[in-house]
C-alpha cells in the first residue's frame, strides 16, 4: 500500500495518512491512499439530483446530477455537464441508484439503466403510470482505465415530479 511521504505535520493525520490524499504535497505525484483510511468511512462517490421540478428527461438521455453529496475518491470523477462518471482505477465497484419520475405521459414503460462505455450494463423497467420510483444496482469490474459510466433513460421521455431528492447514485469500491 502506497503512502504519501510528506513530512509536513499540518497535512498528516495521526494514522499517517495524508489529508490531501490526491497528490503528495512534496513530490507532486499521484499517490494511492490506503483503502478505507483508518478503517472507517467509504471509498467512493455519492450524487443527488435535486430541485428540477417540471423538467423532462428525454429518451436516451443521461440523468444529470446537480449535487455531489460525498466525494471520497481521487480516481472517480464526475462531469456534471454530461452526467458522466469516469473511473480511473482497476477494481470491483458497486453502483446503486434510484430515481423518481412521472411516467403518465410515457408511450411505453419507464426504463432506466447504467451505461458503461456506451453499452447498457443493467436496467430496470416498470409499466407506465403516475409517479413511480425505480431503483437498481450493479457490480462493475474495471479492468482497463478509464471507464465511463452514466445513468440513462432507456425508455420514453419522463417528467420529473415535485419531490426532493429526485435521484441518487452511489458508487463504492468493493475491492
Judgement on whether residues 101 and 61 belong to the same structural domain of the protein: yes
Residue 111 in grid coordinates: 426504463
The torsion of the CA quartet 7, 8, 12, 18, rounded to 10 degrees, works out to -70
Helix (H, G, I), strand (E, B) or coil at 86: strand
pLDDT above 60 for 162: yes
Judgement on whether residues 7 and 63 belong to the same structural domain of the protein: no
Phi then psi for residue 38, to 5 deg, are: 65, 15
Judgement on whether residues 166 and 145 belong to the same structural domain of the protein: yes
What is the C-alpha to C-alpha distance for residues 94 and 171, in angstroms, rounded to an integer? 6
Instruction: Render pLDDT for 19-38 as a digit per residue (tens, 0 to 9).
Output: 444 444 444 444 444 444 44
Task: Please give the angle made by the CA atoms of 21, 24 and 28, to the nearest 5 degrees.
Answer: 135
Judgement on whether residues 15 and 47 belong to the same structural domain of the protein: no
Check residue 132 and give left, alpha or beta (phi > 0: left; psi -120 to 50: alpha). Answer: beta
Judgement on whether residues 25 and 46 belong to the same structural domain of the protein: no
Judgement on whether residues 5 and 57 belong to the same structural domain of the protein: no
Calculate mean pLDDT across residues 82-110: 88
Name the DSSP letter for residue 35.
Answer: T
Q: What are 133's strand-pairing partners?
A: 100
Judgement on whether residues 48 and 13 belong to the same structural domain of the protein: no
Helix (H, G, I), strand (E, B) or coil at 37: helix
Q: Give me the pLDDT at residue 17, please.
A: 52
What is the DSSP pairing of strand 167-173 with strand 76-79?
unpaired
Which of residues 9 and 42 earns the better pLDDT score?
Answer: 42
Judgement on whether residues 105 and 147 belong to the same structural domain of the protein: yes
Judgement on whether residues 27 and 46 belong to the same structural domain of the protein: no
Calculate mean pLDDT across residues 83-104: 90
What pLDDT band is residue 48 in, cutting at 50, 70 and 90?
Answer: very high
Looking at residue 79, which CATH number applies to its domain? 2.60.120.40
Domain residues for the domain of 46 are 42-173
Q: How many domains would you assign to the chain?
A: 2
Q: Give me the pLDDT at residue 137, please.
A: 93
With b for 16 or more beta-carbon neighbours within 10 A and e for fewer, the 128-144 pattern comes to beeebebebebebebee
CB of 112 closer than 8 Å to CB of 96: no
Judgement on whether residues 35 and 46 belong to the same structural domain of the protein: no
For the chain, give the mean pLDDT: 78
* DSSP characters over 77-105: EEETTTTEEEE-S-EEEEEEEEEEEE-TT
Judgement on whether residues 109 and 53 belong to the same structural domain of the protein: yes
Phi then psi for residue 13, to 5 deg, are: -90, 165
Q: Give me the pLDDT at residue 24, please.
A: 44
Among residues 3, 11, 72, which one has the least CA distance to residue 41? 72
Judgement on whether residues 122 and 97 belong to the same structural domain of the protein: yes
Amino acid at each position: 500500500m502506497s503512502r504519501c511521504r510528506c513530512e509536513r505535520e499540518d497535512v498528516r493525520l495521526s494514522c499517517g495518512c495524508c489529508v490531501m490524499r490526491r497528490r503528495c504535497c512534496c513530490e507532486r505525484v499521484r499517490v494511492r491512499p490506503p483503502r478505507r483510511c483508518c478503517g472507517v468511512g467509504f471509498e467512493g462517490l455519492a450524487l443527488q439530483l435535486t430541485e428540477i421540478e417540471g423538467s423532462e428527461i428525454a429518451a436516451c438521455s443521461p440523468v444529470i446530477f446537480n449535487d455531489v453529496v460525498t466525494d471520497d475518491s481521487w480516481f472517480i470523477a464526475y462531469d456534471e455537464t454530461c452526467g458522466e462518471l469516469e473511473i480511473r482505477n482497476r477494481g470491483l465497484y458497486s453502483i446503486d441508484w434510484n430515481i423518481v419520475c412521472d411516467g403518465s405521459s410515457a408511450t411505453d414503460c419507464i426504463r432506466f439503466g447504467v451505461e458503461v462505455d456506451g453499452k447498457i450494463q443493467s436496467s430496470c423497467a416498470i409499466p407506465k403510470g403516475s409517479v413511480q420510483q425505480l431503483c437498481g444496482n450493479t457490480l462493475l469490474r474495471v479492468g482497463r482505465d478509464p471507464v465511463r459510466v452514466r445513468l440513462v433513460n432507456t425508455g420514453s421521455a419522463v417528467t420529473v415530479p415535485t419531490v426532493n431528492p429526485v435521484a441518487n447514485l452511489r458508487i463504492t469500491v468493493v475491492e
